[in-house]
Chain A
């Protein structure tokens, strides 16, 4: 019995050792170029829907919403004073397009015939503009241009201010850059102190929309939109650290205050023509 038992033990040991060496060999795997290529492709394939959703959102901004955004230029001929900013087309009627921008973009101490406002659309076509309304308390202004042969789309207003963490995009002409788009999120609402030469220019005393969308200096009047492509604010300031030309945070007049400005100025969004 002992001899048979010993033989059995040896057989089992040999079998075990055989399986052990097999398992070690099986454990040792080489990852080839083809394996890695397949892993790479699978990673891309698994994210395809996600990519497509981001692409659709971005392409709508860059191909449709951007057409509502304009460059605003002010030149005072008598003093050679000039300024530029952005604006957005928000209303049209039979004769005119109406543009929303910042008061500080178009502000002149003395408004006279020598102050010329020019609007450039997404194709670079230029239009003479007329100042309709302005307010330093909201840092907002309305200009209008005569309708030309080109049909320009107008932006929709969001019914209320966006919530904190909501997605946001800023579209404008920072420092003359044509059709700039930057993305980020709503961060907070708070009162921001902005340096101004006069209360007539900027005297915003309410909580403004703070976002982490970076903008370049010269982005005043750019439009802030939500993920439904509706206007949620008009950029009026940003915080620029040291010598950086790109802001860390962007401050916008929130849409509810924009609508309040229209009411105060008794400016109707309806087509009265």
Chain B
């Protein structure tokens, strides 16, 4: 009987400690997701304090990377044919400030004359130039000369795509409001055109002026470049595609 009690005791002991014996999958994907989840929970905006910190950080730091873009298109007789407005975000700073925006905004027939003007978060305007573009990725880079007394920071990139339902924030030129911000959630779509990893669909309220705007996650890191609105949902070019596009620079970090 004594032996039985010992075995019973041992069984209960093992069962009570059951939750502690969990082995995590040994893979890079698991570790990456685990880190992403841990960071997400740390910065989760469910707590009022965390939400306030997120907004304050966006206003006082990330928004300084925002630019509003004005493109004027002239005929070969120098007559103004079209004026386009959009948004962009500074992603690298060196002798120039480098701005990510959409290809669509800068897609202009080569026989026309074009001037690019950017306004920073304080509304200071300067001329800009097209540096790189790719129709395949839907992205373009503008650059404008950096002024030392006017430091504009570069946005940080996220390592991973955001998950369905995560809160995200867009900053840019929305509904003709300069330096505007708009929040929403990452949304799934039934659209057949949705190719995995190509676009991030969100519930952010947006319009054509916001195309090229930065979409950031709750860590204030870039997860997309706003590309348009379809069936009531905003869609942004995903960070995966942005990083691939930036490979066009042998090492974009050397721009810093």
Contact = CB atoms under 8 A, between A and B. Distances in A.
Nearest to B47: A50
Nearest to B185: A51
Given A30-B23, A50-B46, A177-B121, A59 B205 contact: yes
B227 interface: no
A177 B178 contact: no
Contacts of B167: 51, 54-55
B59 A180 contact: yes
Contacts of B148: none
B41 interface: yes
Contact of B22 (A30, A62, A216, A246): A30
Q: Which of A28, A39, A43 has the most CB atoms of chain B within a 10 A radius of its CB?
A: A43
Contacts of A9: 3-4
B11 A55 contact: no
Interface in B7-29: 7-8, 10-11, 14-15, 17-18, 21-25, 27, 29
Interface SS majority for chain A: helix
B94 interface: no
Contact of B164 (A29, A44, A246): A44
Contact of B21 (A28, A44, A122, A180): A28
B174 to A, nearest CB: 7
Interface in B152-178: 163-167, 174-178
A115 to B, nearest CB: 23
Interface of B: 3-4, 7-8, 10-11, 14-15, 17-18, 21-25, 27, 29-30, 33-34, 36-37, 40-41, 44-46, 48, 51-52, 55-56, 59-60, 63-64, 121-123, 163-167, 174-185, 205
Interface of A: 9, 12-13, 16-17, 19-20, 23-24, 26-33, 36-37, 39-41, 43-45, 47-48, 50-52, 54-55, 58-59, 62-63, 66-67, 122-124, 167, 175-184, 214, 216, 246
